[in-house]
Every structure is written in structure tokens, then in C-alpha cells.
């Protein structure tokens, strides 16, 4: 490990900004636990009816939008408490580009093929830009706010515990319950429960007989975990984004603890983090994680150059070997999800070419895809590529503005933290690189839990980079 100073070495000051950072971090933690579904599916999420149900199910994203609006308004007194000097040193394009991108989304919305989908997407995009600007002008102006991660990493820990329970207990029990129910003719289920299971497609009625949905049984058998998020690759995105910071705090933030306790914290963080990433079954997540591990060794380790190269090579060999073993059956079956993604991307390109100015409207890819998809392909609601979806949904201008924004953020982070002495700042930047990379094959931009957290961290890091570098 690098001998870099611990992230908590500086004394903790508690003022208005620190209190706001704590509250905003708790909100982002709540998002990881409750707002892990794509915004375009918000209509399918029913509000919980009571407190026990609220503890166990996802919440409508409109609730998150309201909370974020309140926090945005509450940030104004903090923002104007004193001049935001660090943010003024940043290029204006860093905050003008996201505003221009969102403005074009509103222009594109005027010709949308589905006003409802576009409406919920625009509200979510406003939240993404708001989180970035709050990080840039409020949270990060006096250096990295230590209290911001308290709620975020606490929620990540709960999410990973749930994921581990899914893999070892929950999915096995659910599968056995369906098998037993079918075997006994569902006599152990109340009629209203069975009706709900049928509406949720857990069971199917075929020729007057109710049977367990074979697709659900197969998913439960594979035991690909998702924690509190919509599906396994979304959990992988959360790990790419936050696990580097969690591991850094486990290593450097526990230096003053007794050795047995310290090593227990490090071991638990490592096991839960990498174990859950493995159990998600995310192929892109695993490969990106290998790249992040190699990047950390090359840039943060104080080992001699030759030892670094040997270590990176060892990580690559072992990681790729684990990848081959984990996904052997997947590739033997023909790598169907890879082919499906190419079909999504082809349809997105066709949609862009058919309307290069406005696209089909923010969040509406599923509408043109229903017409353009190959007959053998499953229906998809999102492109599984955040960057290409911008071109498909909002035309060349919208896609180019988003690419320019993210490209400038990545370039600024790479320049500011390549030689940063603060290991936590470097770990957070590394996590952002991983999440932005996953955006080429997934739709994390459309999941509030991921997008709000990522853009808040990005804006905060950019404003704080002079302090951290």
C-alpha cells in the first residue's frame, strides 16, 4: 500500500457547509436504498402503503425529485455565505456545458414521441445537473467535505449486505417457495397473493393451470444479485463508483484502530465489495474493475516500476482467469447479451440518422426500438449506452453536448488527481472513471441512485481539486 496520509488526517470542522454535506450525503444514501430504478419505469412503482412496506420497497422517483428540490433551495444560503473562490478557478465550460445540455433536452422535448416518458426524464436530468452544480459551487469550494460520504457509504454497506443475503439465502428460498407452490397447487397461498404474483409475472396461467414462471426460476437459480438497485449491472455500477473510496477509507481511515479490528474492517470491506461484484455476474463491471485496480497500482503505489508491472500483470492474469471461469457457460451459450446490445446500438444509430436534429425525445428510445428491433431480440427500454442514447433521444446536438461535458469532467479529474496526495480524492476520481466507462454498455445515467451520486461527487471533486492535489 502507498504511504499516503490518511484521508482523515486534517481536523474536522463543523459549520454550515459541513452540516449541509452531511444532510446531502444522507439523501444520496437514501437514493441508493430507495431510488434504484430507471426513471422511465417510475409509473410502475407504487407508493408504499405503510412504514413496514416503505422500509422494504423502492419509492417513486418523484419523491426523490421533491427532496432534491428542497435540498437545492437549502443550498442557496450556504452557497452565498461567502465567495466560491475554488469554483471560479475552474473553466466556465465545466458548468456551462451541463446547462447547455439540459437546455437542449428541453428543446428536444418539444418534438418527443412520448411526452410522459420525456417529462419524467427531464425532471431527472434537472436533478443530475443540480447535483453537479451543488457539488461544484457549494460542497467542494473549501476542499473535500468529509461528512458527505457518511450517508453514501453507510447505504452502500446496507446494499451489499442485502446483496450477500440475496446470493446465500433469499434467492434460494424464493426459488424453493415457487417450486413448492407449484407442486402443491398453490394451496399455501392466499388468492389475493397469488393474483399479485400473477400480475408480477412470478407465476403464469397456462391452459387453466398456474405454474411458476420458468424465466424467474432460472434467474433465481443463477442468483445474480442486485442489492437495493434495479438489476445486477446497476449494483456493479455502484461498486465501480464507490468501492475504491470504501476500500481507501478501510485502509487509511482505520490506522488508529487496534490491528485486529482494523484488519477485520479491511477484510469485510474487501470481501463484501469484490464478492458482491462477482455475484452480480456483470462482465463489463469485472473488466472495468480490473482496469481500476491496475490504475491504482500504477499511480498510487510507491513500489519500484518493475514490481508495479509484475503486480498489474498478475492482477490481469488472475482477474481474466476468474472472468473465464465465471462466464464460461455464458460464452458457450453464444454471449446473447452482447448481440442484444449491438441490436440496441444499431437501432439508436438509425434513430439518430432519421432525426439528427431533435431525436425521438429524452427517455423515449423504447418507442423507435419497438419498430426497429430485430424479430429475435428482446424488447429494451434503454440503449444500454448512455452516450449513444443521447444522440438517439436528443439528436446530434444533445449527444455532442453530453460527450463534451463528460469528456471535460474526465480530463479535468485526470489532470487534477493524477498526482494527488490525498488517497481518498484519487479513489473517488478513479471510481468516477469506472462509472463513466460503464456508461458505454449500461444506462446508469437514467438511474437516480447512481447518477445523482456520481454527478455530486464529480462536481465536488472538481471544485476541491486544488485542495486535494
Question: Rounded to two decimals, what is the model's pTM?
Answer: 0.90
Q: Whole-angstrom distance between the N-terminal and C-terminal Cα of the chain?
A: 19
Is residue 349 domain-resident?
no
pLDDT digits (tens, 9 = 90+) for 360-409: 999 999 999 999 988 877 889 999 999 999 999 999 999 999 999 999 99
- Whether 297 is covered by a domain: the verdict is no
Q: Is residue 197 part of a domain?
A: yes
Burial class for 3, CB neighbours closer than 10 Å (0-12, 13-18, 19+): exposed
The predicted structure's pLDDT at residue 25:
97
Residues 277, 389 within the same domain = yes
The per-residue pLDDT of the chain, averaged, comes to 88
- Interatomic CA distance for residues 411 and 93, integer angstroms: 13
Q: What pLDDT sits at residue 51?
A: 86
Kindly list the distances between the CA atom of residue 449 and the CA atoms of 109, 118, 325, 384, 404, in Å, as whole numbers in the listed order.
24, 19, 31, 17, 23
Domain ends where: 180, 195, 222?
222
**pLDDT per position as a tens digit, 266-288:** 999 999 999 999 999 999 999 99
In a domain, 57, yes or no: yes
Contact 114, 164 (CB under 8 A): no
Which pLDDT value is given to residue 83? 53
157: pLDDT strictly greater than 60: yes
**Whether residues 408 and 263 fall in one domain:** yes
Which stretch of DSSP H or E encloses residue 42? none
Rounded CA-CA distance 307/353 in Å is: 49
For residue 317, which of 305, 306, 327, 309 has the smallest C-alpha distance?
A: 309
Distance CA 223, CA 164 (A): 10
| Structural domain count of the chain | 2
Residue 209's DSSP bridge partners are 206
Q: Using only C-alpha atoms, what is the Rg of the chain?
A: 23
Residues 54, 154, single domain; the answer is yes
52 lies in the same domain as 128: yes
Q: Is the domain of 98 the same as that of 178? A: no
- What pLDDT, on the 0 to 100 scale, is given for residue 71? 96
- Structural domain for 199, as ranges: 167-222
Task: Tell me the per-residue pLDDT of 161-214, one tens digit each, with 9 for 90 and over.
Answer: 999 999 999 999 999 999 999 888 888 888 888 888 888 888 898 887 889 999
User: Among residues 222, 240, 256, which one ends one of the domains?
Assistant: 222
342: in domain: no
Report the C-alpha gap between 135 and 457 in whole angstroms.
7
Of the residues 183, 205, 222, the one at which a domain ends:
222
CB 395 within 8 A of CB 352: yes
Q: Name the packing angle between helices 214-222 and 171-183 (round to 10°).
A: 150
Higher pLDDT, 305 or 183: 183
CB burial class (10 A; 0-12, 13-18, 19+) of residue 286?
Answer: buried
* pLDDT value of residue 355: 95
pLDDT digits (tens, 9 = 90+) for 424-453: 989 999 999 999 999 999 999 999 999 999
Mean of pLDDT values over 328-351: 80
81 and 209 co-located in one domain = no
201 and 159 together in one domain = no
- Mean pLDDT computed over 235-254: 94
Same domain, 178 and 236: no
Q: Is residue 132 part of a domain?
A: yes
Q: Is residue 294 part of a domain?
A: no
Selected residue with higher pLDDT from 371 and 16: 371
Whether residues 69 and 132 share a domain: the answer is yes
Across the range 313-333, mean pLDDT stands at 77
Together in a domain, 49 and 193: no
Same domain, 235 and 214: no
pLDDT value of residue 233: 95
418 found inside a domain:
yes
For residue 11, the model assigns a pLDDT of 54
- 85-133 pLDDT, tens digit per residue, is 444 567 889 999 999 999 999 999 999 999 999 999 999 999 999 999 9
**Do 403 and 272 fall into the same domain?**
yes
Amino acid at each position: 500500500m502507498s504511504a499516503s496520509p490518511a484521508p482523515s488526517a486534517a481536523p474536522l470542522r463543523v459549520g454550515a457547509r459541513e452540516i449541509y454535506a452531511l444532510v446531502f450525503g444522507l439523501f444520496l444514501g437514501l437514493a441508493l436504498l430507495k431510488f434504484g430504478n430507471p426513471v422511465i419505469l417510475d409509473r410502475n412503482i407504487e407508493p408504499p402503503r405503510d412504514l413496514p412496506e416503505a422500509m422494504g420497497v423502492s419509492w417513486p422517483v418523484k419523491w426523490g425529485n421533491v427532496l432534491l428540490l428542497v435540498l437545492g433551495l437549502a443550498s442557496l444560503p450556504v452557497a452565498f455565505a461567502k465567495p466560491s473562490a475554488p469554483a471560479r478557478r475552474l473553466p466556465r465550460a465545466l458548468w456551462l456545458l451541463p446547462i447547455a445540455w439540459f437546455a437542449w433536452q428541453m428543446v428536444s422535448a418539444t418534438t418527443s414521441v412520448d411526452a410522459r416518458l420525456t417529462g419524467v426524464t427531464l425532471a431527472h436530468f434537472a436533478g443530475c445537473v443540480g447535483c453537479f452544480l451543488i457539488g461544484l459551487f457549494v460542497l467542494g469550494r473549501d476542499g473535500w467535505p468529509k461528512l458527505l460520504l457518511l450517508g453514501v457509504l453507510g447505504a452502500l454497506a446496507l446494499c451489499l449486505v442485502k446483496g450477500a443475503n440475496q446470493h446465500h439465502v433469499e434467492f434460494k428460498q424464493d426459488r424453493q417457495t415457487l417450486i413448492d407452490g407449484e407442486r402443491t397447487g398453490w394451496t399455501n397461498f392466499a388468492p389475493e397473493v397469488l393474483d399479485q404474483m400473477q400480475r408480477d409475472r412470478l407465476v403464469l396461467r397456462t391452459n387453466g393451470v398456474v405454474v411458476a414462471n420458468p424465466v424467474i426460476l432460472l434467474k433465481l437459480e443463477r442468483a445474480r444479485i442486485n442489492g437495493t438497485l434495479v438489476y445486477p449491472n446497476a449494483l456493479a455500477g455502484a461498486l465501480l463508483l464507490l468501492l475504491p473510496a470504501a476500500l481507501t477509507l478501510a485502509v487509511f481511515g482505520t490506522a488508529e484502530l487496534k490491528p485486529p479490528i482494523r484488519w477485520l474492517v479491511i477484510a469485510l470491506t474487501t470481501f463484501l465489495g469484490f464478492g458482491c461484484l462477482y455475484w452480480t455476474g456483470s462482465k463489463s463491471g469485472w473488466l472495468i474493475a480490473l482496469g481500476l485496480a491496475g490504475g491504482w497500482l500504477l499511480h498510487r503505489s510507491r513500489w519500484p516500476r518493475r514490481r508495479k508491472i509484475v503486480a498489474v500483470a498478475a492482477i490481469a492474469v488472475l482477474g481474466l482467469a476468474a472472468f473465464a471461469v465465471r462466464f464460461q457457460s455464458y460464452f458457450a451459450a453464444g454471449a446473447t447479451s452482447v448481440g442484444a446490445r449491438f441490436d440496441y446500438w444499431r437501432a439508436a444509430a438509425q434513430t439518430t440518422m432519421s432525426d439528427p436534429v431533435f431525436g425521438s425525445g429524452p427517455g423515449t428510445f423504447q418507442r423507435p426500438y419497438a419498430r426497429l428491433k430485430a424479430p429475435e431480440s428482446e424488447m429494451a427500454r434503454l440503449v444500454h449506452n448512455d452516450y449513444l442514447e443521447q444522440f438517439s433521444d436528443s439528436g446530434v446536438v444533445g449527444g455532442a453536448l453530453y460527450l463534451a461535458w463528460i469528456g471535460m469532467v474526465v480530463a479535468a479529474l485526470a489532470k487534477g488527481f493524477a498526482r494527488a496526495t490525498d488517497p481518498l480524492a484519487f479513489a473517488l476520481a478513479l471510481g468516477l472513471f469506472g462509472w463513466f466507462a460503464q456508461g458505454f454498455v449500461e444506462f446508469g445515467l437514467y438511474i437516480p441512485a447512481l447518477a445523482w451520486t456520481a454527478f455530486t461527487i464529480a462536481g465536488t471533486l472538481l471544485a476541491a481539486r486544488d485542495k486535494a492535489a
